[in-house]
Structure 1
Amino acid sequence: MKNILLVCAAGMSTSMLVNKMEEAAKDKSEEIVINATSGGDLKKYVGNADVLLLGPQVSYLHEDYQKEYGDRIPVEVINTVDYGTMNGQKVLGWALELIEKK
């Protein structure tokens, strides 16, 4: 099972992207769990995550999260265009690549 965690300011816009990513994940042969949360609730979910993806609006937190979690899991900012267009297929593929590389 792969666990992907998305974080943004309130967790609302990433929830929409999670829905698109879940649609794309239906075609995969492995179980993929995708969650979205706000930065304030991150600690509740990050323990199970295999990758942490930040919404562009919280990219300023990348360095802090990289220091805190980067030795354990990949921590990256989602591409602005992919985020804005809610390209769940592309973001999912990228997240899975990051997990494989770790």
Structure 2
Amino acid sequence: MTDVKKLIVPFLIGGTVIAGVKYASTHIKNPAVAAIIGGVPTGLISIYFVSDEKTLKYAHNYFFVTLSLLSAIAVFYTLHTYTKLSKNVAVLISLIFWAIFIAIRYIAAGKDVS
């Protein structure tokens, strides 16, 4: 199987999740449904695509990425709830926070995050 063909299934899974969030947030009254779809643990699903010898390192790193995501969500929720910042600005700040968290983790681990 070519490298491009190997990317089709993961692409479809990720695209389905994003499209599902868009659909649910537009057509379903309860925003919790969109959050549930958006919260599909794609990182866990991705373990199917990680080679056996890298699975434990992947899972270890996924844990820290998940912590950074939870922290970024907390930043967004706090900014959007308790300040007058717009949704878009709060999202941008949260994404920057997430990127900094990940960069620090990557650098602190000497680029061989394990």
Q: TM-score, normalised by structure 1?
A: 0.26
Higher helix share: 2
Higher strand share: 1
Larger gyration radius, structure 1 or structure 2: 2
